[in-house]
Amino acid sequence: MTDEQVVAIKKYVEGAYPMMKSNDDSDLVWFDLLQDQEYYGILQSIKNYIRGGNKFPPTVSEIIKGYSLIIMEFNDEVLRLMDEDGFFNDPPGGEIEVALWNKQNRKRKALVWMSRDYPKENIPRWFKEEYQKYEQTIKQKYFAIPNKMGVRQLT
């Protein structure tokens, strides 16, 4: 996330919670903890927090935790779509027990690869390409991204 995006995130929270105190020390914490995060995911986390009826402004850790929950739900939904399409299935004709074990093993590997802590450079390219196809199907459900004209649309 850029410095400008961190400032925009903080101003968004301050707009929703005018009683929020802001100072140089808190700004440093926001910059430090949010600089490695994804802007639209963090923004969605904040929107979810505000819509949740919380009366007090979120801490940075609550925002990051909310984003992690969004990513988990998102990955679960991508995995569900892949499973519905038979992505993890063996070719027909094998033993049922072996096919079920293979399917469970493939789904487990996919969950590990999709986890936030797994090094992205170690994920097989073929899986990344397939994941991205399914990801586009549901991305609009989770992240509101502005279009070039400044109007909010879901993509």
pLDDT tens-place string over residues 91-120: 998 899 999 999 999 999 998 998 877 888
Answer yes or no: is pLDDT of 143 > 80.
Answer: no
At 48, the pLDDT band (50, 70, 90 cuts) reads: very high
Answer yes or no: is pLDDT of 139 > 80.
Answer: no
Tell me the residue range of the domain where 32 lies.
Answer: 3-154
Burial code of 17-54, b = ≥16 C-beta within 10 A, e = fewer?
eeeeeeeeeeeeebeeebeebbbbbbbbbbebbbeeee
Q: Which residue has the higher pLDDT, 68 or 24?
A: 68
Domains in the chain, number: 1
Least Cα distance to 131 among 154, 111, 116 occurs for: 111
